[in-house]
Structure 1
């Protein structure tokens, strides 16, 4: 699919720290691995976004992309320091240069980087598919992680993205219009 890319956001080691792991982190990694394998075997570009701040300090172990889904040589890794993967990054230019029109989005953190990037991608004119079972967050004092994920899936599906589960994502040429 020449006009589709898989965008993996902020799947960094700090998210899987045993002292405060992200909700269902192992399942997230399994879903992401499945998406990445299918994208790569279908020659669909896989792009990674990596967050930088006081917790995710460049070059440290917490900042590194989780080894189970690490980028391959030649795959794009975009550095960001806000929840918006497009804000003051080269992501939009990279996608335009590759003639990408469709984005399949997965990763972390549901209510911040996933939400903001999904909305921004739509406002920039991309057709967005949010992988409903391949983004995560943590429990808060008021809501469970599952409640947050479910809420954002519903809100984003209303105007910003189509929702599909990992098993529904197809990267083959015959499903170009259905990814």
Structure 2
């Protein structure tokens, strides 16, 4: 079987997700894992797609604000593609599918924020569009809710999203 064309997808890893007052769960560990994946992908010339969420005026992810910017520890380079979105679905009313198709991508390695919204929705949608999806189980994160801790939400999604993806630890990810 032919090796599929892979891409790394980094969803919503923006400054506003790392506020001191309400940081994403294990944010520093998340950044370290994503940095490692970016480094591995770049070393093998694997395309990297950053998805950047856009909120309305005076929101934390308002375009052009400090919170909206991609986190400085994982900045894109000139070869990377940045996709703008307004909903949890990275494909809905964006250019993501067209950009993936241009590069003949068949497999998406999925990382980012927020496990229970943008990561979940994008994972399911990518599967429905026919992509092979690998969810990096230790490279996505969220916040706790009134009913569940962040780790409970992450673990639940790692279990449920196996129906739509191959769920792997970051150390298991191979870019070839």
Question: What TM bracket, shorter-length normalisation?
Answer: over 0.9
CA distance in 2 between partners of 1:146 and 1:76 (Å) = 30
Whether 1:103 aligns to 2:108 is yes
Runs of 4+ in 1 over 4 A off after TM superposition: none
Count of residues in Structure 1 that have an aligned counterpart in Structure 2: 171
Partner residue of 1:86 out of 91, 95, 118:
91
Contact kept, 8 Å, 2:135 with 2:168, in 1: the verdict is yes
CA RMSD of aligned residues (A): 0.9
CA distance in 1 between partners of 2:80 and 2:48 (Å) = 7
Partner residue of 1:167 out of 164, 168, 171:
171
Q: Structure 2 length normalisation: TM-score? A: 0.95
Q: Residue 58 of structure 1: CA displacement? A: 0.7
Structure 2 portions without partners, runs of 5+:
none
Whether 1:146 aligns to 2:148 is no
CA distance in 2 between partners of 1:73 and 1:124 (Å) = 27
SS of the residue corresponding to residue 48 of structure 1 reads: strand
The one-character-per-residue Cα deviations of 1:96-115 (angstroms, maximum 9, x if unpaired) are 11110000000000000000
